[in-house]
Amino acid sequence: MSDIIAYKLNGNIIDTLSVDENEKGLEPIYFDNSTEALEVIRHSCAHLMAEAILELYPDAKFFVGPAIEDGFYYDFRAFKEDGSKIGEADLKEIEKKMKSLIEKKADFIKTNSTKTEVSAKFKGDDLKQEVLKRIPDGVVSIYSQGKFEDICRGPHVPNTKYLRFFKLTRVAGAYLGGDEKREMLTRIYGVAFADKESLNEHLKMLEEAKKRDHRKLGNEMKLFTFDEEVGAGLAIWLPNGARMRSKLEKALFKIHRDRGYEPVRGPEILKADAWKTSGHYDNYRENMYFTKIDEQEYGIKPMNCVGHIKVYQSEIRSYRDLPLKFFEYGVVHRHEKSGVMHGLFRVREFTQDDAHIFCAPNQIKENVLEILNFVENIMKTFNFDYEMEISTRPDKAIGDEKVWEVATNALKEALDENGYKYGIDEGGGAFYGPKIDIKITDALKRKWQCGTIQVDFNLPERFDLAYIDENNEKKRPVMLHRAILGSFERFIGILIEHTAGELPFFIAPTGVAIVPISDKHFDYAKKIALELRKLEVDSEILSKNETLNKRIRTAEKAHIPYILVIGDEEVEKNSVALRDRRARTQSNLSFDEFIKFIKEKLDEVHF
């Protein structure tokens, strides 16, 4: 059995330096690749990296170095002899120093002091003082190994010998404390595991992820771009990307209508009074953009819910009308910090596949289950596995705790009674209600937060929503907030990486590339393109004055699913030479057989 590197007590991880081993209820955490063990290993590896940086750059100052979901990082200030910051080229030297430090097999040592004593100890270190500001009064712990020490609550491994399997992955900038108005520190990311095989497997995944990076493929496929003159986090959709989005939107529009949803549209800018009523002004203001019109304050919407509430309020509602399902491809804006934006994954403007269901309290369960069925069909279509997590009341929330309890239990009952498995994210709910988060797993086994289902008793109360029940009395409806993709931007970015650019045929920007061998075959190529357009399949005729092989390579590089080569025989026989680029097969079909083949491919989509 492997060594014990920490313990779990009452759900918390405690290292061997912080616990009495005779205490009851201790669950040992062994040196392996369990989630708990990796958290300890990775946090410790961050400190090892900091020690190596200090050895190489003695004037370095350190801020924070936590373990994160897939590794660790440290934020610090350090400069090389020429005054420049540490870059990617310096990582190998830092790794080499880390390995030499591991050979010393230094123990981690923990000491406890008062906040005043620690402040005095690090009197000349401004970054340590910043860390202390974030720590409540009381006992403050310091961990050290070798020549490095830092303010830290742990947990850490007993000895650096447990940190052999690591890799530093990249250098980034990080604003001090996440505040973009403050100094930009250097951040180095790394990964660590308990064995070499797991590390190598993860590094292979990272290499594959680089090849699949949606920013790289988006550029190659001419889907979208960003422009500094336009602004950070504001995607510009090119013709290919806009075609793809419109096809996805159209497919989802139809299935929404089939499921009884009504299309609506709210304004993108609302008076601040509306956001005060909703609670966004007090609880979400830092994420919003505000402006003034005729001395009146307005807020650009970060969510679509208030607009949909106003649709509900546009007429008197009866219990016979419920549930009312409104949906909108709603453009929203949120203030994201510069340091966290990343391609389509984190942007300042995005479009949600948003819906709000207004129902009676006794209709919550059936509507949550209908949404889950909708989720299941969409995820199957795109070949995603997924899991669910219920997020409960956060510290910053509106509404009575009893109301939250009722809403949370409604979600749990809907999942429990139908055998759905789910986790619990304590305190992760929206400020107005608990939610089910849909987390999808891509081809590289990475998890992504996408869809959400939220039960909300609070906004109906704040906006005084009502319906007339069977006894002709006013009753309060429940509001279900629902997005399945989450946002088109984020979902498309995930889908590009999941498929390595091999997008499903029904949303492919260009479904068919037609390559006439010479000019005399061009008219037949145009006839094929016209018939494909009738099926709402986009095609491109590659007729440039280039070799046949180069034009075929151009189509392949653009990830076009089907390539038709048109020559004398195809024109004479009214046929096509079809290359299925993804299946890597070639076949000869009559024109009618080809059209039938394309129709069958389109019919494979089942939401």
Known binding residues for Zn(2+) are 305, 356, 481
Q: Residues forming the annotated binding site?
A: 305, 356, 481
Nearest to 278 by CA among 236, 250, 308: 308
Determine contact, residues 436/389, Cβ cutoff 8 Å. yes
> Token pair for residue 512?
């068919």
At 38, which amino acid appears? L
At 138, which amino acid appears? G
Catalytic residues: 305, 334, 352, 354, 356, 435, 481
Beta strands in 408-534 (DSSP E): 422-425, 435-441, 447-456, 467-468, 474-475, 478-483, 512-516
CA 219, CA 241: separation in Å to the nearest integer?
10
Burial of 13 (0-12, 13-18, 19+ CB in 10 A): buried
User: Cβ neighbours of residue 361 under 8 Å, at least 6 residues apart?
Assistant: 478
Residue 391's alpha-carbon distances to 460, 490, 498, in angstroms, are 20, 20, 26
User: Cβ neighbours of residue 194 under 8 Å, at least 6 residues apart?
Assistant: 2, 31, 32, 33, 37, 38, 41, 162, 165
Beta strands in 154-205 (DSSP E): 165-175, 184-193
At 416, which amino acid appears? D
Using N-to-C axis directions, what is the helix angle for 35-56 and 91-102, rounded to 10°?
A: 110
User: Cβ neighbours of residue 363 under 8 Å, at least 6 residues apart?
Assistant: 322, 323, 478
CA 178, CA 239: separation in Å to the nearest integer?
36
